[in-house]
Structure 1
Amino acid sequence: MPAKYTNDQTKALRRSILWRTIINAVLFTVVFAAAFLIVELLKPSLSNFVFYSLLGGMDYTLYNALSTLYYLGAALGYLFGIILIIRAGINRALRYFDALFEAVGGMLTHDDAPIDLPSELSTTALALNNIQAERERSERAAKAAEQRKNELVVYLAHDIKTPLTSIVGYLTLLAESPDMPIETRARYASITLEKAYRLEELIEEFFEITRYNLQTIPIERSRFDVTLFCQQVIDEFYPQAAARSLSIELDAPEELPTFADANRLSRVFNNVLKNALAYADEGSTVDVHVGESVIGTTNWLKIMVVNRGREITPEHLDRIFEKFYRGDDARTTSSGGAGLGLAIAREIARAHGGDITAASENGMTSFAIWIPQAGF
């Protein structure tokens, strides 16, 4: 619980117990004083009654002793009453602790019922209910992530079997048919190589799942030309783009020095561009815009990738950067991955102190990579 909540709650309890004790003590004192005053006013009549009726008017020593005991008893009675009031205040404080222990015990046993505490502990009740709600949200998110991860492991395991079966089948045909025509042999060898590449991608995704620990991404910045950097990454995607009649257009300054981790940023741009090519309409153009923007006092490198294709719903946009998250369409494509690419890209950008944002409207989907720049 934050220190502010603790301090506020301690002050509230202190005031509540102190004022209750003071009020009870004052009320007791007023009642006791009133009773004592009434007795004092009636004392002459009571004294005559005690002296003559009970003692027979004979023994002054016993009468004086009773008078002394009366005042001593009154003093002791008042002191005993104050002690009882203080004890009641202490017991009330202990009941607060009992209520707190019971509430915390309910949280530890995963009791989902709302925490209800006395009004004096309203601050603590609010804080504990917030903690319980956050814990429940975290548990649900962890279970959902674990379920998605398990589903993807099963999915990838099933997908691995498909290209592996094809590879074994075609290699068996090549081995058992040495007199096969050269054209057919070349076609089978090409198909086998394609399936082997697909198998390599799936196995790499398995490794990605096992070593996925984004909280420990090391960033080693250096200065480099981001325009040349983007052109080199784009060139690597030429075969993939050509296979679907896609073109990639780079809009960037002739030279743009930047300060970032080139290897990590390469992976960010690679993952974003790969996603854009996978979901772009066949025969369309994927645009890459590179530039700088000044927001407030910070100079930002901005790399935006825009493709034309099926629009992404707001619900998917909210979750597209979650690890192991895959839209329904991804499962039906042969290039569907484990749902880690964009999650890793965002974490690398955030490790730089930046971020990635996404937008989709009217069939145009854009991803913007933001990296803060130090002065050169």
Structure 2
Amino acid sequence: MSSTYANDQTKTLRRSILWRTILNAVLFTAVYAAAVFLVELFKPALSNFVFYTVLDGVGYTLYNLLSSLYYLVAAGVYLIGMILVIRAGINRALRYFDALFEAVEGMLVEEGSPIDLPAELSSTALALNGIQAERERSERAAKAAEQRKNELVVYLAHDIKTPLTSIIGYLTLLSESPDMPIETRARYANITLEKSYRLEELIEEFFEITRYNLQTIPVERSRFDVTLFCQQVIDEFYPQASSRSLEIKLEAPDELPTFADANRLSRVFNNVLKNALSYADEGSVVEVHVGESVIGTVNWLKIMVVNRGREITPEHLDRIFEKFYRGDDARTTASGGAGLGLAIAREIARAHGGDITAASENGMTSFAIWIPQAGF
């Protein structure tokens, strides 16, 4: 609950308890004053009745004692009444706390039950219901992520069997046929190597799932040239791009110093660029734009990766950075990963104080990496 929310709730309770207590005190005083007025009105007759009837005219000393105690007793009764009024106000305040504690306990025990508090605690009830709704959303998201992770483990375990079976099969052929023609042997060896690479990728995805759940993302910033940095990462993707006749075009200043964790940022750019190459149209150009942008008082490093290919629907675009999330058809593609690349990339960007945004329209999909910069 925000401090403003808490202050408003405190003021509401203070006004409610204070004014209710004052009103009760005024009502008690009015009733008591009326009672005293009636006693004073009938006091002569009452005095004669007490003196002549009760005391039979002989207890003059006792009568004087009772008369002198009258005002003291009246003041004592009024004081006791006011104490009871104030006590009722305090008890009412304590009942608010009891209701609040019961509501918080109910949040932990009864899932989905709306929190109902007295009208004076309506602001608190609204805030607690919001907290409960957010907690339930987080729990549902965590359960969904856990379920997706378990599904991915099953799919990856199944996928691992395919290249492993092929590797065993081709190695068995090579072992049992020593007189196999050189061309056939070379072809089988190449196929075995490709299957081994794919098996390595799948095993790495298993480790990726574990690392994502167990590791935090520490950031150790340093100064480096981001233009040279991007070119080096792009060069690593040359074999993958060439296999699909893709061109990676870099547009960046000749030199652009930046302040970030180079190792972590390399992973961010690597994951985003890998995603772009995987889904770009064959023979197209993947563009990488590097520059700085000033928004407000903050200077931002911006790395944008744009590819032409299948458009991402708004539904998938909203969830593309969720961990373990993949499009339905990704499971059947050779490049379908564990659905962690973009999720990890966003977490690293946010650990820097930045973010990653995505857009897809008219067949053009872009990912923008934003990293805030300190002064040089």
TM-score above 0.5? yes
Which residue is equivalent to 1:331? Answer: 331
Q: List runs of 5+ in structure 2 lacking aligned partners.
A: none
Distance 1:327 1:271 in 2: 16
Within the alignment, does 1:87 sit opposite 2:87 as a pair? yes
Query: What is aligned with 2:21?
Result: 21
Cα distance 1:32–1:152, how it changes in 2: closer, same or farther (>3 A)? Answer: same
Q: Are 2:218 and 1:217 aligned?
A: yes
Q: What corresponds to 2:296 in structure 1? A: 296
Asked if residue 315 in structure 1 is aligned to residue 306 in structure 2, the reply is no
- Aligned partner of residue 282 in structure 2, secondary structure: coil
Q: In structure 2, do the counterparts of structure 1 residues 291 and 51 end up closer, same or farther at CA, with 3 Å as the change threshold? A: closer
2:317 & 2:142 partners in 1: Cα distance? 20
1:5 CA displacement: 4.4
The 3 A distance-change label for structure 1 pair 256 and 53 is: closer
| TM-score normalised to structure 2 length | 0.91
Q: Structure 1 residues 90 and 298 mapped into 2: Cα distance closer, same or farther (>3 Å)?
A: closer
Give the match for residue 131 of structure 1.
131
| Aligned CA-pair RMSD | 2.3
TM-score (norm 1): 0.91
Letter in 1 for 2:185: R
What is the number of residues matched between the two proteins? Answer: 375
Q: Structure 1 residue 62: deviation in Å?
A: 4.4
Report what 1:234 is aligned to. 234
Tell me which residue corresponds to 1:30: 30
Q: Give the partner amino acid of 2:261.
A: D
**Separation (CA, whole Å) in 1 of partners of 2:277 and 2:119:** 59
| 2:127 counterpart of 1:121 | no
Deviations, residues 87-117 of structure 1 (Å, cap 9, x unaligned): 2222212222221221121112144211111
- Structure 2 vs 1, CA of residues 197 and 92 (structure 1 numbering), >3 Å: closer, same or farther? same
Aligned to 2:281, the other structure's residue is in SS state coil
- 1:158-208 per-residue CA deviation (whole Å, 9 max, x = no partner) reads 111111111111111111122222222111111110000000011111111
Give the deviation of 1:65 after TM superposition: 4.3
Asked if the contact 2:220–2:261 (Cα under 8 Å) also holds between the matched residues in 1, the reply is yes
2:352 maps to what in 1?
352
Q: Are the structure 2 counterparts of residues 82 and 257 from structure 1 closer, same or farther at C-alpha, using a change threshold of 3 Å?
A: closer
In the alignment, which residue of structure 2 is the partner of 1:253? 253
AA aligned opposite 1:190:
N
CA distances 1:208-229 after superposition (whole Å, capped 9, x unpaired): 11112564332232222x3333
Does residue 370 of structure 2 align to residue 373 of structure 1? no
- Residue 28 of structure 1 deviates from its aligned partner by 1.0
Alignment pair present for 1:43 and 2:43:
yes
Question: 1:3 and 1:237 mapped to 2: Cα distance?
Answer: 51
Structure-2 separation of matches of 1:293 and 1:32? 76
Q: The residue matched to 1:216 in structure 2 has which SS?
A: coil
Moved more, 210-219 or 111-120: 210-219
Post-superposition offset of 1:75: 3.1
Indicate the SS of the match to 2:294: strand
The 3-state SS of whatever aligns with 2:333 is coil
- Provide the residue aligned with 1:104 in structure 2: 104
Counterpart secondary structure, 1:211 = helix
* TM-aligned CA distance change 1:79 to 1:228, over 3 Å: closer
Q: CA deviation at 1:70?
A: 4.2
The answer to whether the 8 Å contact 1:214/1:344 transfers is no
Q: Retained in 2: the 8 A contact 1:219–1:351?
A: no
Structure 1 residue 11 displacement after superposition? 4.2
How far apart, CA to CA, are the structure 1 residues paired with 2:38 and 2:259?
Answer: 91
Report sequence identity in percent. Answer: 83
Q: Is the 8 A contact 1:323 1:340 kept in 2?
A: yes
Contact 1:358–1:366 under 8 Å retained in 2: yes
Aligned to 1:343: 343
Gaps of at least 5 residues in structure 1 are: none
d(CA) in 1 for partners of 2:298, 2:80: 71
The answer to whether the 8 Å contact 2:219/2:261 transfers is no
